[in-house]
Chains A and B, each alone.
Chain A
Amino acid sequence: MVTCSRRRITMTEIIAEILRATIIAGIILAGILAILIWIKDQTKKISYLRVFIQIAAVPVIFLGLIIGPFGLPQFPPVGNAPRDAVVGTNIFGAPFPDGLSVPVLACYYPSGRTVTCPIWQIQGYIFPFWNTGLGFGWGVFYTTTGLERLAIVFGLVIGMSIVLGRFFCGWVCPFGLYMDLIIRLRKTFKKRYWKLSERVNIGLRQLRYVIIAAFLILSFVFGTQAIIGLQLVPGTERGEYVYSYFSAPFCQICPVKPLSVLVESALGLMDFTFVFSNTKGLLYEAGYYVTSLNVAVLVLVTIGAFAFRRFWCRICPLGGLISIFNRFPPFKWVSGVRLNKIEEKCTKCGICKRVCPPQVTEVYEEKGGDVTSPGCILCFRCVEMCPYENCLEIRVAGKPIYKSRSWLKGLK
Chain B
Amino acid sequence: MATKFEGKVKAIPEMPPKEIEEMRNTMEFVSRKVIAENIERMKITWPNRPKTMQYFDEISNFFGQRVEEIRAQKEAGKKIIGYSCMFAPIELILAADAIPVRIDSGWYDTAKLGDTIVPVEVCPVIRSNIGTQMVNLSPYLELSDAIIIPLTCDGRTKLSEILRDDKTVWTMCPPRIKDSLQSRKLWVEEVKAVKEKIEDLTGTEITGKTLRSAIEITQRASKAFRRLQEIRKGNPVIMGRDSMLVNQTSTWDDIKRWTQKTEELCDELENRIEQKNWACSPDTPRVMVTGTPMIWPDNWKIPNLIEESSPHGVIVVDELCSGDRLLYDPVGVDEWTMSDMMDALAERYILASTCPCFTSEHGNEDRINWLLDRVTEYRVDGVIYYVIRGCILYAMEYARIKRLLDSMDVPVYYLDTEYTREDVGQMKTRVEAFLEMLETRVALREVK
Interfacial residues, chain A to chain B (CB-CB below 8 A): 43, 187, 190-193, 343-351, 354-355, 367, 385, 387, 406-409, 411
10 A-B pairs with CB atoms under 8 Å apart are A43-B332, A344-B372, A346-B366, A347-B370, A349-B332, A350-B352, A354-B343, A355-B334, A408-B219, A409-B223
**Binary contact track B338-364/A, C-beta < 8 Å → 1, others 0:** 111001100110011110000000100
Asked if B222 CB lies within 8 Å of chain A CBs, one says yes
- Shortest B369–chain A CB gap in Å is 5
Asked if B179 CB lies within 8 Å of chain A CBs, one says yes
Partner among A43, A192, A407, A408 whose Cβ is within 8 Å of the Cβ of B339: A192
Contacts of A348 in B (CB 8 A): 178-179, 351-352, 366
Contacts of B397 in A (CB 8 A): none
**A411–B226 CA distance with the chains assembled, in angstroms:** 13
Partner among A190, A408, A409 whose Cβ is within 8 Å of the Cβ of B208: A190
Query: Interface size (B, Cβ < 8 Å)?
Result: 33
Contact B366 A351 (CB under 8 A): no
Contact A411 B329 (CB under 8 A): no
- Shortest B325–chain A CB gap in Å is 10
Q: What number of residue pairs across chains A and B have CB atoms under 8 A from each other? A: 77
- Shortest B429–chain A CB gap in Å is 34
Asked if B330 CB lies within 8 Å of chain A CBs, one says yes
Contact A411 B216 (CB under 8 A): yes
Contacts of A345 in B (CB 8 A): 369, 373
**A354–B331 CA distance with the chains assembled, in angstroms:** 12
CB-based nearest A residue for B179: A348
Partner among B222, B343, B369 whose Cβ is within 8 Å of the Cβ of A344: B369
**A9–B201 CA distance with the chains assembled, in angstroms:** 79
Asked if B335 CB lies within 8 Å of chain A CBs, one says yes
Q: Name the residue among B334, B348, B370 with the largest chain A CB count within 10 angstroms.
A: B334
Given contact pairs A192-B339, A344-B372, A408-B226, A350 touches B334 in the complex (Cβ within 8 A): no
Contact B347 A350 (CB under 8 A): yes
**A346–B179 CA distance with the chains assembled, in angstroms:** 14
- Shortest A54–chain B CB gap in Å is 19
Asked if B112 CB lies within 8 Å of chain A CBs, one says no
Q: Which 8 A-B residue pairings sit nearest by Cβ, starting from the closest?
A: A349-B352, A408-B223, A351-B332, A350-B351, A344-B373, A355-B334, A350-B347, A192-B337
- Shortest B221–chain A CB gap in Å is 10
Contact B332 A385 (CB under 8 A): yes
Q: Name the residue among B338, B343, B370 with the largest chain A CB count within 10 angstroms.
A: B370
Contact A408 B222 (CB under 8 A): yes
Asked if B220 CB lies within 8 Å of chain A CBs, one says yes
- Shortest B320–chain A CB gap in Å is 15
- Shortest B366–chain A CB gap in Å is 5
Given contact pairs A354-B347, A408-B222, A411-B220, A347 touches B352 in the complex (Cβ within 8 A): yes
CB-based nearest A residue for B181: A198
Contacts of A409 in B (CB 8 A): 223
- Shortest B433–chain A CB gap in Å is 30
- Shortest B377–chain A CB gap in Å is 9
Contact B223 A193 (CB under 8 A): no
Contact B354 A347 (CB under 8 A): yes
**A43–B179 CA distance with the chains assembled, in angstroms:** 24
**A190–B353 CA distance with the chains assembled, in angstroms:** 29
Contact A411 B369 (CB under 8 A): no
CB-based nearest B residue for A198: B181
**A190–B335 CA distance with the chains assembled, in angstroms:** 9
Contacts of B348 in A (CB 8 A): 349
Interfacial residues, chain B to chain A (CB-CB below 8 A): 178-179, 208, 216, 219-220, 222-223, 226, 329-330, 332, 334-335, 337-340, 343-344, 347-348, 351-354, 362, 366, 369-370, 372-373, 376
**A172–B217 CA distance with the chains assembled, in angstroms:** 36
Contact A192 B340 (CB under 8 A): yes
CB-based nearest B residue for A345: B373
Given contact pairs A192-B339, A348-B351, A354 touches B334 in the complex (Cβ within 8 A): yes
Given contact pairs A345-B373, A387-B329, A350 touches B179 in the complex (Cβ within 8 A): yes
Contacts of A385 in B (CB 8 A): 332, 334
CB-based nearest A residue for B353: A347
Contacts of A344 in B (CB 8 A): 369-370, 372-373, 376
Contact A387 B337 (CB under 8 A): no
Contacts of B337 in A (CB 8 A): 187, 190-192
Contact A406 B347 (CB under 8 A): no
Contact B347 A349 (CB under 8 A): yes
**A43–B219 CA distance with the chains assembled, in angstroms:** 12
Contacts of A343 in B (CB 8 A): 369
CB-based nearest A residue for B352: A349
Contacts of A193 in B (CB 8 A): 335
Given contact pairs A350-B179, A387-B329, A411 touches B351 in the complex (Cβ within 8 A): no
Q: Name the residue among A190, A344, A348 with the largest chain B CB count within 10 angstroms.
A: A348
Q: Name the residue among A344, A406, A409 with the largest chain B CB count within 10 angstroms.
A: A344
Contact B220 A192 (CB under 8 A): no
**A344–B223 CA distance with the chains assembled, in angstroms:** 21
Contacts of B334 in A (CB 8 A): 354-355, 385
- Shortest A386–chain B CB gap in Å is 8
Contact B335 A346 (CB under 8 A): no
**A411–B337 CA distance with the chains assembled, in angstroms:** 19
Contact B332 A355 (CB under 8 A): yes
Contact B226 A406 (CB under 8 A): yes
**A367–B220 CA distance with the chains assembled, in angstroms:** 30
**A43–B344 CA distance with the chains assembled, in angstroms:** 14
Contact A351 B347 (CB under 8 A): yes
**A190–B219 CA distance with the chains assembled, in angstroms:** 22
**A192–B340 CA distance with the chains assembled, in angstroms:** 7
Contact B335 A387 (CB under 8 A): no
Contact B366 A347 (CB under 8 A): yes
**A345–B354 CA distance with the chains assembled, in angstroms:** 12
Contact B335 A192 (CB under 8 A): yes
Contact B219 A411 (CB under 8 A): yes
Contacts of A349 in B (CB 8 A): 329, 332, 347-348, 351-352
**A316–B82 CA distance with the chains assembled, in angstroms:** 51
Contact A387 B179 (CB under 8 A): no
Contacts of B338 in A (CB 8 A): 190, 192
12 new A-B pairs (CB below 8 Å) besides A190-B338, A367-B362, A411-B219?
A: A187-B335, A190-B208, A191-B337, A345-B369, A348-B178, A349-B352, A350-B347, A350-B352, A354-B332, A408-B222, A408-B330, A411-B216
- Shortest A138–chain B CB gap in Å is 45
- Shortest B273–chain A CB gap in Å is 18
- Shortest B407–chain A CB gap in Å is 14
Contact B343 A411 (CB under 8 A): no
**A343–B179 CA distance with the chains assembled, in angstroms:** 16
Contacts of B352 in A (CB 8 A): 347-350
- Shortest A149–chain B CB gap in Å is 43
Contacts of B340 in A (CB 8 A): 192, 354
**A321–B440 CA distance with the chains assembled, in angstroms:** 60
**A192–B335 CA distance with the chains assembled, in angstroms:** 8
Contacts of A346 in B (CB 8 A): 366, 369
CB-based nearest B residue for A352: B332
- Shortest B255–chain A CB gap in Å is 14
- Shortest A45–chain B CB gap in Å is 15
Contacts of A351 in B (CB 8 A): 332, 344, 347
Contacts of B353 in A (CB 8 A): 347
Q: Name the residue among A190, A191, A350 with the largest chain B CB count within 10 angstroms.
A: A350
Contacts of A347 in B (CB 8 A): 329, 351-354, 366, 369-370
**A192–B366 CA distance with the chains assembled, in angstroms:** 30
Partner among A187, A191, A387 whose Cβ is within 8 Å of the Cβ of B330: A387
Contacts of B222 in A (CB 8 A): 408
Contacts of A190 in B (CB 8 A): 208, 337-338
